[in-house]
Every structure is written in structure tokens, then in C-alpha cells.
């Protein structure tokens, strides 16, 4: 590992595959993994929610928690402050919708995918129909974008200024995305052969 502390941010809309690949990269590269979504779920538990079921973000309860976030910025601000503190420690992979804009350091990756493809992935993992997933995603993402625009001034999913790499995952499976990012990280962040080798 390089002497300089490493900070990698993986970003992408729901269903782009960011959480899956971020966890795998963190494990394989010996970095700590932190998720903004997981941190928000922890706050949701404190609010009396049960966010453990699959597809919770698209559920009625998930949407009600989104309403609370819209009304009170303390949830998102609290999560983002914690992620900023963790990033300062270095050697982390952050699964976050905000860190690429709020951090002044790190290597930022955006995973892109069409809303139709993402809805199919969300429907499969959440046990709902594609139509239900598509409707939920459209509503949730528009409202989430408004939260971040109001809080920080950036347009999630529209402003790609902070990103060093944008990867279209529409026609890639999870393993292919992982291998591509391993190659990029190995060549651009780590010394050759220092990361993502097959066991």
C-alpha cells in the first residue's frame, strides 16, 4: 500500500452496483468500508424503523423516513460529518452519494446505469415487480436529489465534476465491474500487483 492514506469514493444511483463492488474492493484491497446508506439506516432504527428487510428504501416505511430527511437536515448532515471524519483517517472506501462533492481529496468513481436496468436489479433484490421498482426509484431519487441540492448545492446524477472515472455498468455483471475497478485502482492508486490479485 502507498504511504499516503488512500480514500476511494464509490458513487452511483440505486441499483448501479456501488455497494456490492465497494465492499468487495475494500476486502480485497485491505481498506475499511463505510456506507452512507448504512449510517442512514442506523438513524432510521433510532426513529423506530426496521430497515433490515430487502428493498427497504423503496418500501412505505423507507419513503416515510425519506420524508423525515426532507423536513430535517440533521439526518444527512450527521451522516456526512461522520463520513468526513472517517475519510480523514484514510485507507477507506466510502459508499456515499455526497462524499465526492464534500471531500477535497480521494479518488472518485461513478457507476452509471440506465434507470430501466437499475429498476430490474432493485426489483430482483427487493422481491417487487419492475414497475413497482421503477416508480419507487423515480420518486425516491428526485426527492433525494432535492435534499442534496438544498443542503450542498450539487445535482446528484447530473454533475460529474468530482469524478475521476465514470463506468457504464448497463451491460456488465458484478464480477466484470469488480475486475475493471481492480485494474483501475491497481494502476492508478496502488503499486503494480499490490491490490486485487486473485487468491
**Domains located in the chain, CATH noted:** 7-188 (3.40.50.300)
- Of 24-28, 103-107, 110-114, the one with minimum mean pLDDT is 103-107
Rounded to 5°, angle at Cα 65 from 61 and 68: 145
The stretch 82-104 carries a mean pLDDT of 94
In the predicted model, what is the mean pLDDT of the chain?
90
Local confidence band at 54 (pLDDT 50, 70, 90 cut-offs): confident
- In sequence order, the β-bridge partners of residue 196 are none
Per residue, what are the HEC states of the chain? CCCCCCEEEEECCCCCCHHHHHHHHHHHHCCEEEEHHHHHHHHHHHCCCCCCCCCHHHCHHHHHHHHHHHHCCHHHHHHHHHHHHHHHHCCEEEECCCHHHHCCCCEEEEEECCHHHHHHHHHHHHCCCHHHHHHHHHHHHHHHHHHHHHHHCCCCCCCCCCCCEEEECCCCCHHHHHHHHHHHHHHHCCCCCCCCCCC
* Nearest to 39, CA basis, from 109, 96, 103: 96
Mean pLDDT of the 52-57 span = 80
- Which pLDDT value is given to residue 46? 93
What pLDDT score was predicted for residue 3?
58
What's the rounded mean pLDDT across residues 152-160? 94
Q: How far apart are CA 1 and CA 29, in angstroms?
A: 9
Nearest Cα to Cα of residue 142 among 152, 156, 130, 132? 156
The confidence band for 53, taking pLDDT boundaries of 50, 70 and 90, is: confident
Does residue 1 have a pLDDT over 60?
A: no
Inter-residue contact 152 to 97 (CB < 8 Å): no
Model confidence, pTM: 0.88
**169 neighbors 16 (Cβ within 8 angstroms):** yes
Ranked by mean pLDDT, the top range of 55-64, 116-125, 160-169 is 160-169
Asked whether the beta carbons of 26 and 111 are under 8 A apart, the reply is no
Grid coordinates standing for 142?
428526485
Amino acid at each position: 500500500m502507498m504511504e499516503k492514506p488512500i480514500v476511494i469514493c464509490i458513487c452511483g444511483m440505486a441499483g448501479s452496483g456501488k455497494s456490492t463492488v465497494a465492499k468487495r474492493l475494500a476486502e480485497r484491497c485491505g481498506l475499511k468500508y463505510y456506507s452512507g446508506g448504512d449510517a442512514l439506516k442506523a438513524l432510521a432504527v433510532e426513529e423506530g424503523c426496521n430497515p433490515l428487510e430487502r428493498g427497504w428504501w423503496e418500501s412505505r416505511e423507507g419513503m416515510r423516513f425519506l420524508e423525515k430527511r426532507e423536513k430535517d437536515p440533521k439526518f444527512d448532515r450527521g451522516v456526512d460529518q461522520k463520513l468526513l471524519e472517517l475519510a480523514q483517517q484514510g485507507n477507506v472506501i466510502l459508499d456515499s452519494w455526497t462524499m465526492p462533492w464534500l471531500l477535497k481529496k480521494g479518488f472518485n468513481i461513478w457507476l452509471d446505469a440506465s434507470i430501466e436496468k437499475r429498476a430490474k436489479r432493485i426489483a430482483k433484490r427487493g422481491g417487487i415487480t419492475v414497475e413497482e421498482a421503477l416508480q419507487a426509484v423515480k420518486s425516491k431519487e428526485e426527492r433525494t436529489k432535492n435534499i442534496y441540492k438544498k443542503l450542498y448545492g450539487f445535482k446528484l446524477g447530473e454533475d460529474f465534476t468530482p469524478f475521476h472515472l465514470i463506468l457504464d455498468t448497463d451491460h456488465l455483471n458484478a464480477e466484470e465491474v469488480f475486475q475493471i475497478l481492480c485494474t483501475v485502482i491497481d494502476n492508478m492508486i496502488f503499486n503494480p500487483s499490490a491490490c486485487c490479485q486473485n487468491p
